[in-house]
Amino acid sequence: MIEVKNLFLKFTREYYALYDVNMNIEDGESVAFIGEDESGKTSLLRIFAKLEKMTKGEVYIKDIPLDKLDYRTDISAGYIPSTPVFLEKKTVYENFKYILKAWGMKEADVENKINEIIIEYAIEKIKDRKIKELSLEEKYVLSFIRLSMRDNLDLLMVDNIFDRLSEASMEVVLDMIKKLKTKKTTLIIATTKPSIAQKLCKKFYYFKNGSVADSLAKLEI
């Protein structure tokens, strides 16, 4: 699914956010990027999501070079950033309607789909509230609900949102990630918490000062 070769990301002449990163992630694997804040894990996720451009190196997703990859046509992917992205002045209902129409769904089907989602996730009370009026935790949950409207995902990426969740919201989010993760879905999460990683993933990469290893001991040598 994802192959990374000798990847570097340099923000200034002296500072590398990522330094000589190499990894292989297979189809359907559940993988955690674990490290302190600013250790490089979010930067790598942003590169995979094509929101950041690497300084040098190679990344292939489904054997397609990252710079040639089109997420609209080549694979079905979802990315949950640490800062949720919505039309803040629009309601929850209007946001869902906007994205479904952008995906090409017919008007009648859009209404039916949104009504199904409202019932399934019990969000009747907030469907007519503007996004800017909601809490950060509510926005995270809505981000996952929005992704659930997609067909089976090939790739699901979740940035380091876990430090910002209450215990109750954490359980909701973990359940939604497990629901979105099918056998064909490759899951990558970024987290500072090994305990969260162990609940969702079986493969771990450890980040420290932009360097990456498959065990913490290797980083500390």
Does residue 90 lie in a domain region? no
pLDDT digits (tens, 9 = 90+) for 158-183: 999 998 999 889 999 999 999 999 99
Domain of residue 1 covers 1-76+192-221
Per the structure, how many domains does the chain have? 1
Which structure tokens are listed for 36? 């302190």
Distance CA 153, CA 151 (A): 6
Does residue 171 lie in a domain region? no
Average predicted confidence (pLDDT) for the chain = 93
Distance CA 147, CA 192 (A): 23
pLDDT digits (tens, 9 = 90+) for 178-220: 999 999 999 999 999 999 999 999 999 999 999 998 887 777 7
Does residue 114 lie in a domain region? no
Does residue 106 lie in a domain region? no
What is the CATH classification number for the domain harbouring 3?
3.40.50.300
Does residue 201 lie in a domain region? yes
Does residue 139 lie in a domain region? no
Does residue 219 lie in a domain region? yes
Does residue 8 lie in a domain region? yes
Arithmetic mean of pLDDT, 33-43: 94
Give 95's pLDDT tier (boundaries 50, 70, 90): very high
Q: Is the pTM of this model over 0.85?
A: yes
